[in-house]
Amino acid sequence: MKNSINGINCLIQNKNTSEKLLIRYLVFLTFLIVIILFPEMISAHPIHDLNSLSAIDTGWIYLQLGFTHIIPYGADHILFVLGLFLLSPKIKPLLVQISVFTIAHSITLSLAVFNVISIPEIFIEPVIALSIVFIAVENIYSRKLNSFRVIVIFIFGLIHGLGFAGVLKELGLPKDQFVNALISFNVGVEFGQISVVLIAFISVGIWFRAKSWYRNRILIPGSVVIALIACYWAAERLIH
């Protein structure tokens, strides 16, 4: 741990002032998220007596449930976020993509939970897997982030939001604190996604993104692995 922190500090010294502050902030935020949520997330589970909880307890429980839907239980969402990271391992463009994805999945999550839209899970889950395949394959053929990518991320975010909604409906929502639970769950999901991004950035991006061999040794092999796993998931979900 000491060596890792020293390495990060050395790298920070070579950056401009704004990037120094951003990297320090992100490292701090990563540790903060883990420290706050990790002790509780292992025991996160559906609560049976929802209406007896206070507003604070309800918010905290659904925050944890949203977080654990990404880490450690949301393997498909983790791979999607990692696919975004591989093509653009710089924090600012990556945060733009994650923000677009968050806005999109928040829209359909809310609409589905309020029963404005309803699409059977049997259709949603295979499409989520195929969205991961698309992002991974695009990584292999694209040289840089473009506006088309952002549009695609928004569309896929709408689809992933329907997947989040299915999970949230299974967990149940308290009638008296419906909005509180919905917002808290969504915030927990966002914390989970940010954690994935920051862990990837600190463990890979901060060290190797500027290397001449990054594309051939990390981006392409990593994207191939992601695509193969997602293809398997898509086939499995279509069959079952």
Q: How far is CA 55 from CA 70, 96, 182, 188, in A?
A: 23, 31, 12, 16
CA distance 149 to 134: 11
3-state secondary structure of 239: helix
3-state secondary structure of 203: helix
pLDDT in tens, 99-144: 899 999 999 999 998 889 988 888 999 999 999 999 999 999 998 8
Neighbours of 206 (CB within 10 A): 20
pLDDT at 172: 79
Per-residue pLDDT band for 195 (boundaries 50, 70, 90) equals confident
Would you list the domain boundaries of the chain? 2-44+51-239
| Intra-chain end-to-end CA distance of the chain, in Å | 44
Closest CA to 33 of 190, 163, 162, 215: 190
Question: Is the pLDDT score of 25 beyond 70?
Answer: no
